[in-house]
């Protein structure tokens, strides 16, 4: 089978770079001063027996982060970034993820290295066996496993152009076996480029144990790393021999279990090795990537892109010896490179030059011209070992120490994860409430699939239980008609009025002309003009002391820009509060102060707005807890009502309001007052939401004096609006007051079985 010819076929070309990717990243938890953590796995992460993203490996301190499978490297890196942030923020702030493959300072006594505390006793017994067989300290190294699968389309197109294989499964299996053999032969190049464990902390090697006498490229990928005993021999000549040899090793007791076989590359297809005989090989697991301490996630996307091209090259290039000889040669060369000094060139430089030359030629013949630059950049590292990861590490370690390297970068990455704790790394462009929900979903171990990122549409799965969520709190718990009711302010008001709740009187207009004819009815009254069916406070104008025909006309114009129908309602005196109701309970109450600045007697309103917008909690498009204050037509009109322009200089201590409406989405300040309310108004809110048939709702009450208890039929309140998709981020991260984690309440509503 001539794969070079097959890969150049026109039907294959569109799929050459299509593949599926997954990552498993191991890291030790350590103190901020570089000692192995002595705490248990964070309880907030739930049970490791089902968690799809965050587990433990050998020890209680060794976190394993597992990404879902992605069709792109960008996608898999986004997932790892998010899971990484969740893991760090779930740990004590006095701990960090150690950024090196070699473990931090280990305790003097092995008994202080805790085996992972798992529910399955068999899993604990297996780890006890490993501790006895290989030693606990050997188990404490960490790295990255890169799961790689050529896309089904690529394999199918290759299969369709050949006539040697009768079935797709046998064809695919042989493709992966060839890649595996070639990987074992040429993996020394991966060790050279990405090896990152030049030294170990004192105490990693036990007294009297042989160890490297000088810095190397990768302890972890050498014979000094965590490897099987020398009598473990498994053939990669064919899948049949591979399965046979592993089974024989288990049967004779040389391996306790199949998973004890620690090869740099393993063919995967099912839960057990025996499954491969039925399923064939679906993907390969590359297990020899050290953690890159110069990357927040332990690996760079460029490295994965290079390895992808390298795996394509392993399909392309021919084997030049028998399978056994080929792999033996590869093992010898990898040991030589792994134990070479990190600041020295490899003695097999000519082979490295040939590999890169062949890769560049392959890319040229396959028409993958853009990828040549990446490969060429890595080829330069052959001549400059100090630019490899191990080389750069040794430069720092030689001048400082290995521990200092780990502490500096570990602390930096821990700080980065906490810098904007309201954001979820990798998904910063999504709506903030959705980001916060995604954080909770990952933390609780609920599987998530983003069905439509632009629409914020998620699929959540726990065991056989599936829920769909849009915009963080639009769920199956509310029927289709509920958001339609609340979207229409006229319908909402009628339903609430008929249910006995106090709502403002007013009129609805479908044309500008109709609205203008009503001017005299409202000219001398306190009134509000707002669009009929919009959220976020857009197009709302409030006049507490009547309005001129000019201002009235402009307010109508602004409202009609947002909707085809406009409401004019009486203005209810009092303070506006947002009650967040979920599952028949008020979980949060927010006082929203309209967008404002406080004068200092020196600066203009425009300058004061600019300064207030520097607050790191402020942003735009619901990607931050608070919104930037704008200086548009609505704000200028509001300033005019107070006798200001944007160039006015308010007196010291004088508050200038830029909005009449208090929506946080228009620059307002959010103040949590949940604990300041008695149950009477909470009961009114719950009953009002129930009358609308909603499970999740943000309902806005005007209350003149919250010290006076309210009743449903009293004049102590008024309901001015109900919101079917209420923002949750402003409750989670208020301008002042206690944050309320409402996204977790949504999960409790959807997955009660996880909270019992």
Position 286 scores a pLDDT of 98
In this prediction, residue 534 carries a pLDDT of 64
The predicted structure's pLDDT at residue 536? 63
Nearest-angstrom CA–CA distance, 223 and 205? 13
3-state SS, residue 378: helix
DSSP for 314-341 reads HHHSPP-S-HHHHHHHHHHHHHHHHTS-
CATH code assigned to 505-570: 3.30.1490.20
3-419 topology per CATH: Creatine Kinase; Chain A, domain 2 (3.30.590)
CA distance 560 to 541: 12
Dihedral (Cα; 557, 560, 565, 570), 10-degree rounding: -50
Q: Three-state DSSP class for 388? A: coil
- Residue 276 CB neighbours (<10 A): 21
pLDDT attached to residue 333:
98
Q: Average pLDDT of each block of 10 consecutive residues along the chain (756 residues)?
A: 92 96 98 96 90 96 97 98 98 97 94 93 92 93 98 96 93 96 98 98 90 96 92 95 95 92 94 89 97 98 98 96 96 97 96 98 97 98 97 97 97 95 94 95 97 97 96 96 92 95 93 94 92 77 91 94 92 92 97 93 96 90 88 93 95 93 85 95 98 97 95 94 92 94 97 92
DSSP-assigned letters across all residues of 176-192: HHHHHHHHHHHTHHHHH
Instruction: Identify the architecture of domain 575-632+650-750 in CATH.
Output: 2-Layer Sandwich (3.30)
Pairing of strands 618-619, 626-627: parallel
Q: What is the model's pLDDT at position 532?
A: 87
Distance CA 536, CA 627 (A): 11
Between CA 430 and CA 29 the distance in angstroms is: 30
Copy the structure tokens of residue 34.
Answer: 């570089």
User: In angstroms, what CA-CA distances link 455 with 452, 470, 729?
Assistant: 5, 7, 17
Whole-angstrom distance, CA of residue 392 vs CA of residue 294:
9
Token duo for residue 280: 């064939």
Instruction: Give the list of residues 6+ apart from residue 266 with CB closer than 8 angstroms, or none.
Output: 284, 285, 287
Alpha-carbon distance of 348 to 137, in angstroms, equals 32
CA–CA distance, 306 with 439 (Å, rounded to integer): 30
Per domain, the residue ranges of the chain are 3-419, 432-476, 505-570, 575-632+650-750
Q: Are strands 265-268 and 283-289 parallel, antiparallel or unpaired?
A: antiparallel
- The CA-based angle 739-86-30, given to 5 degrees, is 110
CA distance 141 to 131: 13
Strand partners, 457: 452, 470
The residue among 341, 352, 356 whose CA lies nearest residue 390 is 341
Residue whose entry in the numeric block shows the structure tokens 């001048």: 399
Whole-model pTM over 0.85? yes
Candidates 501, 514, 490; CA nearest to 567 is 490
Q: What is the CB neighbour count within 10 angstroms for residue 524?
A: 10
Q: Phi and psi at residue 219, in whole multiples of 5°?
A: -60, -45
Helical ranges in 466-511 per DSSP H: 481-487, 489-498
Secondary structure letter of residue 560 according to DSSP: H
3-state secondary structure 10-63: CCCHHHCCCEEEEEEEEEEEEECCCEECCCCCCHHHCCCCCCCCEEECCECCEE
Q: Which two tokens stand for residue 274?
A: 């025996």
* Model pLDDT, residue 271: 85
Q: What is the 3-state secondary structure (H, E, C) of 82-97?
A: HHHHHHHHHCCCCEEE
């Amino acid at each position: 089978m001539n794969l070079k010819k097959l890969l150049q076929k026109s039907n294959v070309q569109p799929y050459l770079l299509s593949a599926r990717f997954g990552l498993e990243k191991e890291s030790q938890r350590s103190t901020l001063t570089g000692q192995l953590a002595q705490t248990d796995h964070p309880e907030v992460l739930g049970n490791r027996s089902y968690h799809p993203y965050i587990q433990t490996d050998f020890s209680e301190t060794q976190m394993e982060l597992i990404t879902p499978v992605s069709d792109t490297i960008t996608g898999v890196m986004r997932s790892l970034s998010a899971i990484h942030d969740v893991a760090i923020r779930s740990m004590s702030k006095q701990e960090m993820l150690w950024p090196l493959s070699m473990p931090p300072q280990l305790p003097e006594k092995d008994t202080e290295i805790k085996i992972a505390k798992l529910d399955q006793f068999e899993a604990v017994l297996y780890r006890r066996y490993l501790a006895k067989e290989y030693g606990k300290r050997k188990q404490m190294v960490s790295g990255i496993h890169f799961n790689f699968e050529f896309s089904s389309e690529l394999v199918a197109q290759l299969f369709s152009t050949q006539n040697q294989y009768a079935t797709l499964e046998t064809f695919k299996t042989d493709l992966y076996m060839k890649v595996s053999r070639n990987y074992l032969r040429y993996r020394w190049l991966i060790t050279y480029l990405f090896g990152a464990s030049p030294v170990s902390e004192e105490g990693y090697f036990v007294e009297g144990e042989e160890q490297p006498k000088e810095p190397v490229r990768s302890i972890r990928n050498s014979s000094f790393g965590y490897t099987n005993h020398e009598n473990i021999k498994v053939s990669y000549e064919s899948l049949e021999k591979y399965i046979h040899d592993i089974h024989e090793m288990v049967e004779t007791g040389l391996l306790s279990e199949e998973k004890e076989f620690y090869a740099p590359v393993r063919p995967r297809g099912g839960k057990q090795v025996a499954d491969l005989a039925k399923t064939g090989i679906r993907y390969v697991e590359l297990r020899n990537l050290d953690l890159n301490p110069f990357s927040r996630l332990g690996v760079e996307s460029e490295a994965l892109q290079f390895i992808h091209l390298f795996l394509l090259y392993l399909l392309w290039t021919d084997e030049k010896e028998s399978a056994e000889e080929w792999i033996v040669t590869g093992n010898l060369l990898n040991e030589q490179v792994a134990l070479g000094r990190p600041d020295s060139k490899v003695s097999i430089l000519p082979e490295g030059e040939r590999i890169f030359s062949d890769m560049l030629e392959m890319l040229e013949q396959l028409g993958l011209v853009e990828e040549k630059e990446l490969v060429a950049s890595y080829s330069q590292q052959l001549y400059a070992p100090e630019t490899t990861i191990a080389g750069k590490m040794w430069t720092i370690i030689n001048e400082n120490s290995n521990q200092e390297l780990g502490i500096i970068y570990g602390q930096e990455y821990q700080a980065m994860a906490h810098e904007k704790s309201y954001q979820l790394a990798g998904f910063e462009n999504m709506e903030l409430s959705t980001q916060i929900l995604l954080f909770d979903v990952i933390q609780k171990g609920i599987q998530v699939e983003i069905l439509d990122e632009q629409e914020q549409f998620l699929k959540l799965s726990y065991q056989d239980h599936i829920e769909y969520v849009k915009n963080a709190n639009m769920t199956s718990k509310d029927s289709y008609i509920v958001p339609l009711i609340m979207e229409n302010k006229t319908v909402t008001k009628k339903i609430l009025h008929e249910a006995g709740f106090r709502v403002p009187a007013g009129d609805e207009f479908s044309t500008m002309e109709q609205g203008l004819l009503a001017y005299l009815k409202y000219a001398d009254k306190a009134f509000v003009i707002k669009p009929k069916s919009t959220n976020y406070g857009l197009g709302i104008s409030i006049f507490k002391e009547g309005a001129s025909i000019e201002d009235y006309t402009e307010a109508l114009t602004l409202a009609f820009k947002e909707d085809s129908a406009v409401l004019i309602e009486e203005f209810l005196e009092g303070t506006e509060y947002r009650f967040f109701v979920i599952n028949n309970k008020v979980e949060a109450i927010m006082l929203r102060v309209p967008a404002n600045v406080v004068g200092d007697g020196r600066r203009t309103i425009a300058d004061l707005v600019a300064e207030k917008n520097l607050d790191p909690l402020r942003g735009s498009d619901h990607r931050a807890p608070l919104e930037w204050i704008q200086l548009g037509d609505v704000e200028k009109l509001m300033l005019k009502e107070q006798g200001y322009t944007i160039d006015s200089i308010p007196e010291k201590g004088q508050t200038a309001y830029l909005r009449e409406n208090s929506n946080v989405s228009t620059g307002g300040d959010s103040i949590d007052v949940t604990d300041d309310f008695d149950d009477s108004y909470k009961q009114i809110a719950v009953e009002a939401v129930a009358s609308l048939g909603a499970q999740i709702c943000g309902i806005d009450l005007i209350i003149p004096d919250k010290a006076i208890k309210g009743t449903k039929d009293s004049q102590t309140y008024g309901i001015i609006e109900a919101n079917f998709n209420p923002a949750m981020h402003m409750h989670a991260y208020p301008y002042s007051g206690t944050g309320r984690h409402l996204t977790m309440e949504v999960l409790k509503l959807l997955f009660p079985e996880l909270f019992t």
